[in-house]
Amino acid sequence: MTTQQRIMTHYLKAFIQGLKASGIREVVISPGSRSTPLALLIHRDEEMTTYIDVDERSAGFFALGLSQAHSRPVALVCTSGSAASNYYPAICEAEASHIPLVILTTDRPAELREVGAPQTMNQQELYRGHVKHFTELALPEDTPDMRQYSYFHAMKNGYLATQKPAGPVHINIPVREPLLPDLESDFEFTHTTTMLEHHSTLDSTALSTVLTKLTNKKGVIVLGEQHSRQDAQLYLELAKTLNWPIIGDPLTNLTSTGGEIVHLMRQADSFLPYSDETLQPEIVLRIGKLPLSKNVGIWLKRVSKENCETILVDEHGQWHDTLHNSQLVLPISAKWLAEAIVNESPTPISNGWIEAWTHYQTVSEELIKTTPLLTELSETAASFTLFNTLDDHSTLFLANSNAIRFADRFALKNTNGYQSYGNRGVNGIDGIISTALGVTAANPEKANFLLVGDLTLFHDMNGLQMAKAYNLPLTIILLNNNGGGVFSFLSQRQLKPTDFEPLFGTPLNLDFETVATLYGAEYVKPTNLNEFQEEVTKSMAHPTFKLIEIGGNQPEPVVLYETFLEDLKQHLGARQNDC
C-alpha cells in the first residue's frame, strides 16, 4: 500500500468515528468507483449496519424509511457525478418532514473539476436550500489536527441533522486515486464527545399565560405531522385533561393507542362540512402542520372569523401557518407543553362541549360500520377491511393520493394499535416503495404492510429489488385502478375524456403478477373481501414479501364517498356549510 492510501485510510476512519459519535449506525451505500474507500471502510466497520442499493433514487428513500422508523440519523454514500443528483427527491422529503439524513457524496479532487474529467459535475451545494448545512471536506491528510478535523465535521453534521428542526445535511468528500484503502492498517481513532439534547420550554410566567388562555374554554386541538404511538398517547391525555376534541390525520397515530378514545374526532373530514354553531370553539390549539384533510383547513379558516383565537405550537420555529391566522406562535417543544398542561391540570370545559362533538363523531362512525357500501370488494372496502384487521404487531405505510385519504375517511378511531407511516412532507408519490422497505428493515419483528396505488408503485418499481436482496417481509396491498385515481376526486374530472385520460387518468396497463414474479414476491388477487382478509391475516401470522392486488376503477372511490357523505348528511339532518 502507498503512503497516500494510508493517509486516506486514517483520515476516513476518523471521519467514520465522527459519524458514530453522532448516533449513526445505519448507512445505505450505492456502489461506485470514487466512493470505494469510504464505502469499503464503512462496510467493514462492525458497529455499522450497511444496506447496498444500486439505485441512488431508491437508496435515498430507503434511508428515509430507516430514519423514520428508528428516529435517528441515517447516512447515504454514493460516487461522484450524476449519482448524487438522484438523492434529490428524498432530500426534499426529508427536509419537509424533518427527517435526519446525512448525505455523503464522494468527489474528484479540485484539479479534476471543470476540465472535462469523466463522471464529474459541480457537487458543491448541490442541494442548495433543501439541506440544513453543507460541508466540503479538505483532501485527506494524516496529521493529528486533520484527523480531528475529519472527525469533528462528521460528528457536527450528524448532530445538526437531528437538531430541531431535524433534516438532511450534505458532506462532499473529495479523494484522490489510488482509491483502495489500506485494509491492513490497525489505526484506530478515539475521541469522546458528549452532546446534550436541546429542549425549548416556557418560563413560569409565559406558561401561566398560556394556561389562562386554555382554562375552562371551548377549545379544539388540531394535531399534524407524524408521531409515535407513545407521543400520540400524550396528546390524547392532553385532550382529556382539557376536555377538548382532538383532530389529526392517520400519521399522527392517534388511533393506534388502543382502547376507547372519547376525545378523538376521527371522522372530522366527513362531518365538519355539516356542523353547526354548537361546534364553534373559542380557542384552537394547533400543533405542527395542518392535517391532510382539506375540510379541516376550511373549517379552521371559517371558525377563526368568529372570535376564535388560534395558538400555533411550532417547535421547528418555521412559522408553518398555512392559514395565516395564528394570534400566538410558540416555538417550543410540543411534548413539553403537553406534559406541562397535563401536570398543571387546568379547569376543563364542561356544559356539553365534548358531547356536542361526540354526537357528530358517533353518527359518522356508526354509519361507516353499517353502510353496505363497504361490504363488497372494492379499493375503499379493502382498505377499510385492512384498517380493521391489523393489530399492534403491525405497521402500515400509507402511500399518498387515495391510500392515505381512505385511512383519513374510513379508519375507525378504536383500532388495534398498528403504527402508521407515510411521506407527507412534500406529498410526492416517488420513493414510496423504498421508504416502506426502509421502515420494514427497521421493524423486522413486525408484520409490515404498504397500502399503495398502481401509479405510485410504478414510480418506484426499482425499489422492490431491496425486498428481494434483503428478504424484507413487506406485504403490499396494491389498489390498481389503472392510473391516477386521485384525479377523479379533483376538478380535473370535469374535463372531456380525450383530455382527462392521457393527462390525468394515465392508464399503465401493467401486469403486476409479472412484476411480482420478477422481484420474487408472492402474488394474490382476491375475488372477495373474505379472501382478502384471509390473505392479510396470513401475512400477519407469517410475514413475507407478498403483493395482494385489488382490482378497481377510478370513479369508484369518488362515487362511494359522495354516496356516503349524502347518507351522513341525512343522518345528521344538517345543511352543508362552505367547508
Residues 528 and 489 in one domain: yes
Q: Which residue, 330, 356, 382, sits at the end of a domain?
A: 356
In this model, does residue 39 exceed pLDDT 80? yes
341 Cα distance to chain centroid: 28
Q: 560 and 504 in one domain?
A: yes
The CA angle 45-50-52, to the nearest 5 degrees, is 135
In sequence order, the 6+-apart residues with CB closer than 8 A to the CB of 274 are 360, 568, 569, 572, 574, 575, 576, 577
Residue where the block lists cell 382527462: 500
Mark whether 270 and 293 lie in a shared domain. Answer: yes
**Closest alpha carbon to 161 in 224, 97, 107:** 97
- Any domain includes 363: no
Percent of the chain residues past pLDDT 90, beyond the cut: 75
Last residue of a domain, one of 321, 356, 391: 356
**How many domains is the chain partitioned into structurally?**
3
Q: Is 557 part of a structural domain of the chain?
A: yes
CA distances from 123 to 84, 100, 162, 271, 473 (A): 8, 20, 23, 50, 36
**Number of neighbouring beta carbons within 10 Å of residue 239:** 27
Among 105-114, 535-544, 570-579, the minimum mean pLDDT is found in 570-579
> Are both 325 and 249 inside the same structural domain?
yes
C-alpha span between 80 and 529 (Å, rounded): 50
Residues 468 and 390 in one domain: yes
Answer yes or no: is 25 within a domain: yes
Q: Which domain holds residue 408?
A: 371-565
The answer to whether residues 260 and 301 belong to one domain is: yes
Q: Is residue 362 part of a domain?
A: no
Q: Is 351 in the same domain as 379?
A: no
At 244-294, the pLDDT tens digits run: 999 999 999 998 766 568 899 999 999 999 999 999 999 999 999 999 999
Same domain, 416 and 308: no
CA distance 94 to 115: 33
Same domain assignment for residues 347 and 396:
no
Give a yes or no: residue 366 inside a domain: no
Q: Are residues 304 and 386 in the same domain?
A: no
Distance between first and last Cα of the chain: 71
Residue 409 CA to residue 365 CA, distance in Å, equals 10
Q: Which of 107-111, 371-375, 504-508, 510-514 has the lowest mean pLDDT?
A: 504-508
Residue ending a domain, among 356, 388, 405, is: 356
Q: Is residue 578 part of a domain?
A: no
**What CATH code is carried by the domain that includes residue 342?**
3.40.50.1220
Q: How confident is the model at residue 484 (pLDDT cuts 50, 70, 90)?
A: low
Residue 180 lies in a domain: no
For the stretch 408-432, pLDDT in tens is 999 988 667 899 999 999 888 899 9
pLDDT of 302 strictly over 80:
yes
DSSP strands (E only) in 228-375: 246-248, 283-287, 309-313, 328-330
What is the side-by-side strand order in the sheet with 49-52? 49-52, 26-29, 74-78, 101-107, 169-174, 134-136
Which cell is 316 given?
421547528
pLDDT digits (tens, 9 = 90+) for 334-359: 999 999 999 998 889 888 999 999 99
